[in-house]
Structure 1
Amino acid sequence: MQITKMKWIAAIVPAICIGLFEFARHKFLHVISMDWGNVLVAVLTGIIFILFSHGIFALMENLYGKLQQEKQETAVLQERYRIARNLHDSIAQSLFFMNVKIMEIEAAWKNQQEPLSAINELREAIRFADTELRQHIFALQTVALDDNINLITAIQNHLRQYEAQTGAKIDFIITCDNEIPFSAYERKQLFHIFQELLFNIRKHAAATQVIVSLSENNEAFTMTIADNGKGFVAADNLRQKQSFGYKMLEQDIRSIGASLTLTSIPGTGTTVTVTKTKKRSYRHDH
């Protein structure tokens, strides 16, 4: 039932029922005493209130169920888009590169030339694709295991996997409570942001050291990720909004009302800070 109809029912039905009962009571006053009439009015009012409340709560439960379903469907679509983009950025490009190298090996073989260089590049591309695929699978498993994730534990596990696969030195600094004071959706989005930042360090920075720090004060929670990689001209990069996974990053950050600051100098490294203001109450408008 639509809310508009419920509003009209709430306004009209109780008045009609009580009015009809009062009419009947006065019409047959010799049958129903005043005291019993008052009792029956109270009973009738209670019955109407119970029935109406039941309808209202049933409507609310139905709307809440639809909202939860829409949220889940939206989350699935977001994950599909994220996976498609990551696969395109890494696996698809690696496969294209491998195909090119195979053609170079075939051409060298036909021309009786030494294809060792192309073979080495092909081997490196296969290794890279295998590592990237494992990373994507791990990222999906990390989120899929528990929708209500513990942000610190999820980041620790992800960093441990990243360190094992890349050999980079990882420093994880925690100066906040173990329970991050945000909703499950906000924590999940913060983890997605962290994954995206780390993925781009791995893909573009060639860093040998990554420092991740989580801190908070009375007003905000801050996540900082710094690397000693190649760096880039940050202002130009932000204007282009293409590299650094900016589109998805911006969407995730906007969805939880956070902010991002980036500092980078070519040859020195990059530092990204994500700040999420604390609120007394949290709601997910998604």
Structure 2
Amino acid sequence: MNERAVRRALLIVPAVVVALFELIRHTPWVLSLLPMEASNWLTAILAGLVTALISRRLFARLDALHDEIAQARERELVASEHKRMAEKLHDDIGQTLFFIGVQLNHARKKLPARHPAGVHLEEIQEALREVDDELRKTILDLRPGIGDSVDEQTWKTHLEQFATGFGAQVVIAGEAPELAPVAWPVLAAICREAVVNAVKHGAASRVFLTWTQAGRRWELTITDDGQREESWDRAQKEGHYGVALIRQRAAFIGAEVRFERTLTGLRIRLTAVRSTGDSVSRRRRVLSRRIIAGFLDEPKVEP
């Protein structure tokens, strides 16, 4: 029964039921069994029960609409805050780094060839370029688009485009679980970090994302075809920002993360239990507040 039929039934059925009951209760044999005062109370109770029974579907739809509106407001608020943070990073820190880089380049050119100070300036420039790269990655994390993602397809398309920009290919296998909308941009940030690590430190050309499910438990495995072990060595560094950031983001969606050594480098396993009902709503609200507070984009410090 669709909503229009429910609304019509809500107007017609209670009236018909009450009318029939009124006809029946005024018959002599009912009056002899049921006093008039008691039958009046019974009429009110019967009308309330019939109305509640018919309107259950409308109430369920109303609750669903309320949840959709709340999710839309959360996504809009998160996207707006991300955009503001990205603009601030670009206009303030990004331009400052560019100015410093230009000044260092001018200073290095004024020095004689192979001058010790020139070597130090070149090292500083290299470190500055790495900081600038990480800043651009952070700004990309904050750009509108994936932050509004609520489904698997948008997540998949975003990662494929991101990997293409690094000259790599993302291969996704398996069926993704049904996740809370806020979890998708967090997973996208984790996968982007894994792609950058595989390409930059493992010389990988393909990154494999594999979904597996067993009941309510799901697992996302990230591997690559890199030919060096530097990825594993870097992952073992205590406090390395990439590993720490992946752990933090995984914790925000209630997932456990494990880093395993393979013949070609590093395997990342994300494991979690799919939440349902009120737990999803509570976790979504907590995640939204954390994202807005900037916990997903803490400063990255290279050891």
Report TM bin, short chain.
0.5 to 0.7
**Residue 213 to residue 129, structure 1, CA distance change in 2 (3 Å):** closer
Spell out, residue by residue over 1:25-58, the C-alpha distance to the aligned partner (whole angstroms, 9 max, x if none). xxxxxxx99543232111333567799999xx99
Distance of 1:98 and 1:51 partners within structure 2? 68
Distance of 1:136 and 1:263 partners within structure 2? 27
**Residue 210 to residue 187, structure 1, CA distance change in 2 (3 Å):** same
Tell me the secondary structure at the aligned position of residue 167 of structure 1.
coil
- Structure 1 length-normalised TM: 0.54
Tell me the secondary structure at the aligned position of residue 207 of structure 2.
strand
Offset at 1:217?
4.0
Aligned residue number for residue 242 of structure 2: 244
Distance of 2:184 and 2:256 partners within structure 1? 15
**Residue 283 to residue 45, structure 1, CA distance change in 2 (3 Å):** same
Structure 2 counterparts to residues 157-236 of structure 1, below 5 A: 157-163=158-164, 165-168=165-168, 170-174=169-173, 176-177=174-175, 180-201=177-198, 205=201, 207-219=203-215, 220-227=217-224, 228=226, 230-231=230-231, 232-236=233-237
Offset at 1:65?
4.7
Could you tell me whether the CA contact under 8 Å between 1:253 and 1:260 is conserved in 2?
yes
Aligned residue number for residue 38 of structure 2: 38
* Structure 1 residue identity aligned to 2:146: T
Q: 2:256 aligns with which of 255, 259, 272?
A: 259
* Structure 1 residue identity aligned to 2:235: A
Distance of 2:177 and 2:137 partners within structure 1? 30
Q: 2:144 aligns with which of 125, 140, 145?
A: 140
Distance of 1:136 and 1:253 partners within structure 2? 19
Distance of 1:101 and 1:185 partners within structure 2? 37
* Structure 2 residue identity aligned to 1:166: F
Offset at 1:92?
7.0
Tell me the secondary structure at the aligned position of residue 140 of structure 1.
coil
Could you tell me whether the CA contact under 8 Å between 1:257 and 1:276 is conserved in 2?
yes
Structure 2 counterparts to residues 70-85 of structure 1, below 5 A: 72-73=73-74, 76-77=77-78, 80=81, 84=85
Stretches of structure 1 that go unaligned for 5 or more consecutive residues are 1-31
Could you tell me whether the CA contact under 8 Å between 1:258 and 1:277 is conserved in 2?
yes
Aligned residue number for residue 274 of structure 1: 270
**Residue 86 to residue 275, structure 1, CA distance change in 2 (3 Å):** farther
* Structure 2 residue identity aligned to 1:44: A
* Structure 2 residue identity aligned to 1:226: T
Distance of 1:263 and 1:221 partners within structure 2? 18
Offset at 1:262?
0.8
Could you tell me whether the CA contact under 8 Å between 1:183 and 1:282 is conserved in 2?
no
Counting matched residue pairs gives 232
Identity of aligned residues (%): 10
**Residue 270 to residue 81, structure 1, CA distance change in 2 (3 Å):** farther
Distance of 1:125 and 1:138 partners within structure 2? 20
Aligned residue number for residue 104 of structure 1: 104
Tell me the secondary structure at the aligned position of residue 191 of structure 2.
helix
**Residue 87 to residue 274, structure 1, CA distance change in 2 (3 Å):** farther
Structure 2 counterparts to residues 12-51 of structure 1, below 5 A: 35-46=35-46
- Structure 2 length-normalised TM: 0.52
